[in-house]
Amino acid sequence: MDFKSFKTIYQKEEVKKYTNAVGSNTLVSVCVQTYQHAKFIEECLEGILNQKTNFDFEIILGDDDSKDGTTEICLKYAKQYANRIRFIAHKRMNNIAINGRPSGRFNMLYNLYSAKGKYIALCEGDDYWTDPLKLQKQVDFLENNQDVNICFTRAQLLKNEVFSMHDIPKPFYNNSFKYIELLKHYNFIATCSVAFRKPLHFEFPNWFHKLPFGDLGIYKLVSEDKDIQCIDEVMSVYRIHDNGVYSGISALKKQQNYLNFYKAIFPALNSEEKQIASLKIKEVTYRISKLKFPNRPWFQKFYNRYLHLKF
């Protein structure tokens, strides 16, 4: 689905694009989606604006009709840095619900479709970058490694004002790997650490629009069966807080999201990836049965079988 088709189907009310002076020689588009991030968005934008590069980059800043002052902060920065920021103010009427919950999917996709750069970096409005050379290092890496389509960095996790390392499996600290490893281990990439090579025809199929865990869907589309690799340096902070996208979701709902993810993406997977996804579906359906009917083995067994037949 191209940008025009996407807007025809999902845009019920016109978005507002603010005047900017961003040049035409953009090498990297930094996509920032934000909603109710008044406490965090300035730190996010400062970390991006402080990047030291030998190339031009743009910030595509999409706000999802925040009511806590985020919009006003974004507008202030867009005016102050008109040569760097393209500010897009969205309407809640355009929100795409996923599994019955409002999501940032319209905002995310509008940003990605709008990106002009050869490369795209991601940073949500409640996360931030700590290394002023992050973009330069990642672009240099991608330029020098044509077999890699996605690179990411180590990141810190910030929860309740306490920092810890965002964990990734040790084999992937320095070694390249394929998308299938993200299916095996679930997603261990901090979204705020990612930069990738934009595909020549950057379009999103129908299955993507309702996919839980949109970042995993992006990685499938842009990896194009090429490598993914980590730069083993801490360059960003991933924040967990009460207003986060998945905060407050029950254990059962989380497992249902995993099941819906594997079912939605299954047709897009290659044969080897489908084998892994099938195993994960069995694991997840078992966990759902245990959570839905604790201490009732007969119901667990029956419901587990029902979910398999339904798939």
pLDDT in tens, 178-190: 999 999 988 899 9
Give the range among 4-13, 29-38, 209-218, 294-303 with minimum mean pLDDT.
Answer: 294-303
| Domain stops at, among 194, 221, 240 | 240
- Each residue's pLDDT tens digit, 83-134: 999 999 999 999 999 988 889 999 999 999 999 999 999 999 999 999 999 9
**How many domains, the chain?**
2
Q: Do the domain assignments include residue 246? A: no
CB 128 within 8 A of CB 40: yes
Q: Domain of residue 192: give its range.
A: 3-240
The alpha helices in 28-119, defined as continuous H runs, are 41-49, 70-80, 105-114
Cβ 86 vs Cβ 45: under 8 Å? no
- CB-based burial of residue 195 (10 Å sphere; 0-12 exposed, 13-18 middle, 19+ buried)? buried
Same domain, 124 and 211: yes
Q: Indicate which CATH number applies to the domain containing 170.
A: 3.90.550.10
pLDDT of residue 292: 77
Of 103, 189, 98, nearest to 138 by C-alpha is 189
Torsion of CA 216, 222, 224, 230, to 10 degrees: -70
pTM value surpassing 0.85: yes
In 115-191, alpha helices (H): 134-144, 180-184
Beta bridge partners of 28: 57, 119
Domain boundary among 210, 240, 270: 240
Question: Within this chain, do residues 154 and 226 fall inside the same structural domain, yes or no?
Answer: yes
Q: What is the pLDDT of residue 289?
A: 82
Answer yes or no: do 261 and 212 share one domain.
no
Question: Is residue 245 included in any domain, yes or no?
Answer: no
pLDDT band at residue 28 using 50, 70 and 90 as cut-offs = very high
Is-contact 105 212, C-beta < 8 A? no
Please give the Cα distance from 73 to 42 (Å, whole number). Answer: 7
Buried b or exposed e, range 130-162, using 16+ CB within 10 angstroms: ebeebbbbbbeebeeeeebbbbbbbbbebeeee
Q: Is 307 helix (H, G, I), strand (E, B) or coil?
A: helix
